[in-house]
Structure 1
Amino acid sequence: MAVLPEQVIYMDNNATTRIAPEVLDAMMPYLTQFYGNPSSMHTFGGQVGQAISQARQQIADLLGADPGEIVFTSCGTESDSTAILSAIQSFPEKNHVITTRVEHPAVKNLCDNLEIFTGRKYHVTRLPVAADGTLDMQRYRESLTDDTAIVSVMWANNETGVLFPVEEMAQIARERGVLFHTDAVQAVGKVPINLRETAIDFLSLSGHKLHAPKGIGVLYVRKGTPYIPFMNGGHQEHGRRGGTENVASIIGLGRACALAAEKMEEENTRVRALRDKLEQGLLSTVPKALRNGHPTQRLPNTANISFEYVEGEAILLHMNQLNICASSGSACTSGSLEPSHVLRAMGVPFTAAHGSIRFSLSIYNTEEEVDFVLARMPDIITKLRALSPFWEDK
């Protein structure tokens, strides 16, 4: 029998979120009654186009952008690829890209492929991070060259929640005549963003990270930024992304962005307090546990804790038996037995990197759920350490 959602303690919101009830309500008419093609000339389709325009405005309002700067995509990964590939095609004389060692695989693997599989040799600078996951800004400044086509740096790390100073970095890039892209998939809806006051040229977001459905994303393209479409086809999105619009999901994303604006304060107060209670409780009750990431320069919902001398996969299996959902890192790399590339870049000891668990909360989590997890995690770690040959001498 399937496990019902109400029986689950879900603390894996950086992997995906539940669709908000208000979002589902907004979507349903466009899955049933209003099924016209928004590109059609008739009124039945035209009213769908008007609904898309409203959603575009709602998204722009959350980002502090103009509606014309919003391009709908299928996901954050497509948005990332579109931004980076557009930049290097727009400036074929440049062959340098700057990113970090802790990017999501959507950016990391694309940059790896640029160096290996493209016909032209690209050089990628991967900025290192400190032990707390933060960047060295002086090193960043020194990495910019006349050959740099684009800088791509995430706004918030998906595993640790560490926030990067992307607004400052974008301004530095602009002063050097370099385009700047940020993967803001984890940041949108959790931290205030006003793109009109930044030098950011491209921004990626994904609907399923802020209580909208999977399969819908956005690429923000600043007006006047050189742009080459990743997907060619019809005239949709003013020729910037071909393919018939995913109407219901676009409507849902618009509603989710409006909700996110309303819930931003709750994210940064109640949810942050729950995160802090969970984190402090684990660090105080479980020996040899450590927090990964800067203590304050983080998303309000994310705690990454390493439990030394145990395997993260084993911890998750025991948590799963209690219907507690968390992650050992990015959902996009959960099938790998290798320790997180993010934690390795931070220099987390091997004995701890393998035992890292990411807890990521949302507005739907409760204090009772946090108490439940805190009451059971020490026993889980104690049992697993009793089986570990590495724990005997500690």
Structure 2
Amino acid sequence: MKSFYFDHAATTPIHPEVAHEMIAVMQQGPANASSMHHYGRAAKAHLNRSRDTLARHLGCKPSELTFTSGGTESDNLAIIGAARAQAAKGRKGLITSSIEHHAVLHTMQWLAEHEGFELHIVPVDNTGMVKLDQLADVLDESIGVISIMHANNEVGTIQPIEQIGKLAHEAGALLHVDAVQSLGHLPLNLNELPVDLVSFSSHKINGPQGIGALYIATGTPISAIVQGGSQERKRRAGTENVAAIVGFAKALDICVNERNNWQPFVAQLRNKWVELLQQELDQHPFIINGHATNTLQNIVNISFIGVDTESMLMNLDMAGIAAASGSACTSGSLERSHVLKAMGLSDERLNSAIRFSFGMGNTIEQLQEAAPIVAGIVRRLST
């Protein structure tokens, strides 16, 4: 049976060139960048070159990047570290949106429950856009940290980060942005954006899992949350994963250098998928969730009205098609998407939503083969 991987928003296949560079580093011998001997110096050189590469593509200084184990740790370090630093100045207010990844929502809720922070969760409209007027209403001198994602991982909606950053800085608050899903898809020049902290993860851009980074703008107050060493400018203790960091840098290098060719093709895949499903399901209309234009081009979230999400996913899997109902961190449970709930969608849309996301390895031919299979499942489950 053929298989089709349409779940790139969850994780991406590693690029062959990335794997090649990582293996080369691992075969060079022990690699602890804190060691003083020649093995350690070689590891440190890999670390510095990788940090330089990432900084060049992200438009920031190498010293402003701290390596972590991935997006979740980056979010935790940014939010907890900055919130505690701001609390020391008397700012114990936090703001986030109702559609954030749980790495942000749960972290902020934890701070409110265990460390006495005051949390404000601002709503979004039915396209997933943050309601800026309501964000502005709760933004005052008590707010220490605002965390708003760049682009949503379930519906792809892109937030107006520049406007949010301006509001934050006018009020003296720090802005953290979860850019895990947008990295590589949207151009970033961090030193020109009104942002203080930005989270990234390698495995969303055909790099290795288990490695990420946090941008910390020069002068941003932050407290370390992992103790035990002086690595990463004392912001994140622990021996750096040199091979994975090299892979991360290589993945972003490929992603940025090929973006002008790759992004139009990914957009073509998304548009073709919708077109094919419309042709196959002309008697069974579906609804696309999220913003119509201000969205990532590799994600499409579709409600197949009358078809239960879980039943659809099981049948897709049995047919060799990998898709998702939302975040990979929660899709193993029966809980419906908190993102779609926050968007105020009807139960029939909420309970029938499937996310398809495209990337390296997908072709138009795959879509042409898979669309009739998906349509057949929809028709069978809706009868």
TM-score norm. by structure 2 comes to 0.96
Q: How many angstroms apart in 2 are the aligned matches of 1:245 and 1:208?
A: 17
SS at match of 1:358: strand
Work out whether residues 160 and 358 of structure 1, in 8 Å CA contact, stay in contact via their aligned partners in 2: yes
Partner of 1:247: 242
- Any stretches of 5+ residues in structure 2 without a counterpart? none
Displacement of 1:138? 2.0
The correspondence of residues 105-144 of structure 1 with structure 2, limited to 5 A, is 105-116=102-113, 118=114, 120-144=115-139
- Worse-matched range after superposition: 266-275 or 290-299: 266-275
Displacement of 1:361? 0.4
Q: Which ranges of 4 or more aligned residues in structure 1 deviate by more than 4 Å?
A: none
Partner of 2:330: 333
Does 1:200 pair with 2:195? yes
Work out whether residues 283 and 290 of structure 1, in 8 Å CA contact, stay in contact via their aligned partners in 2: no
Q: How many angstroms apart in 2 are the aligned matches of 1:316 and 1:136?
A: 32
Q: Residue type of the partner of 2:139?
A: L
Work out whether residues 189 and 264 of structure 1, in 8 Å CA contact, stay in contact via their aligned partners in 2: yes
The correspondence of residues 269-308 of structure 1 with structure 2, limited to 5 A, is 269-286=264-281, 287-308=284-305
Aligned pair partner of 1:151 in 142, 146, 150: 146
Work out whether residues 22 and 243 of structure 2, in 8 Å CA contact, stay in contact via their aligned partners in 1: yes
Work out whether residues 190 and 267 of structure 1, in 8 Å CA contact, stay in contact via their aligned partners in 2: no
Partner of 1:14: 9
Partner of 1:389: none
Q: Residue type of the partner of 2:224?
A: P
Q: Residue type of the partner of 1:352?
A: R
Work out whether residues 148 and 177 of structure 2, in 8 Å CA contact, stay in contact via their aligned partners in 1: yes
Does 1:59 pair with 2:54? yes
- Any stretches of 5+ residues in structure 1 without a counterpart? 387-394
Cα displacement string for residues 101-144 of structure 1 (whole angstroms, at most 9, x for unaligned residues) = 0000101111222222x1x4222111111111112222222221
Cα displacement string for residues 41-91 of structure 1 (whole angstroms, at most 9, x for unaligned residues) = 112220111011111011112211111101000111111011111122112
Q: How many angstroms apart in 2 are the aligned matches of 1:255 and 1:301?
A: 21
Partner of 2:169: 174
Displacement of 1:322? 2.2
Aligned pair partner of 2:99 in 98, 102, 110: 102
SS at match of 2:175: strand
Q: How many residues align structurally?
A: 379
Partner of 1:392: none
TM-score norm. by structure 1 comes to 0.93
Q: How many angstroms apart in 2 are the aligned matches of 1:273 and 1:336?
A: 32
SS at match of 2:258: helix
Q: How many angstroms apart in 2 are the aligned matches of 1:110 and 1:177?
A: 22
Aligned pair partner of 1:185 in 180, 183, 187: 180
Work out whether residues 151 and 296 of structure 2, in 8 Å CA contact, stay in contact via their aligned partners in 1: yes
Q: Residue type of the partner of 2:83?
A: I
Work out whether residues 98 and 121 of structure 2, in 8 Å CA contact, stay in contact via their aligned partners in 1: yes
Displacement of 1:217? 0.8
Distance 1:224 1:250, change over 3 A: same
Work out whether residues 34 and 48 of structure 1, in 8 Å CA contact, stay in contact via their aligned partners in 2: no
Does 1:385 pair with 2:375? no
Work out whether residues 266 and 363 of structure 1, in 8 Å CA contact, stay in contact via their aligned partners in 2: no
Cα displacement string for residues 175-220 of structure 1 (whole angstroms, at most 9, x for unaligned residues) = 1111000000000000000011111000001111111111101000
SS at match of 1:332: coil
Matched-pair identity in %: 38
The correspondence of residues 75-86 of structure 1 with structure 2, limited to 5 A, is 75-86=70-81
Aligned pair partner of 1:37 in 32, 36, 40: 32
Partner of 1:28: 23
Does 1:221 pair with 2:216? yes
- Worse-matched range after superposition: 182-191 or 286-295: 286-295
Displacement of 1:284? 4.9
Aligned pair partner of 2:82 in 73, 82, 87: 87
Displacement of 1:152? 0.2
Q: How many angstroms apart in 1 are the aligned matches of 2:30 and 2:307?
A: 52
Pairwise CA RMSD: 1.3
Q: How many angstroms apart in 2 are the aligned matches of 1:358 and 1:196?
A: 33
Does 1:238 pair with 2:233? yes
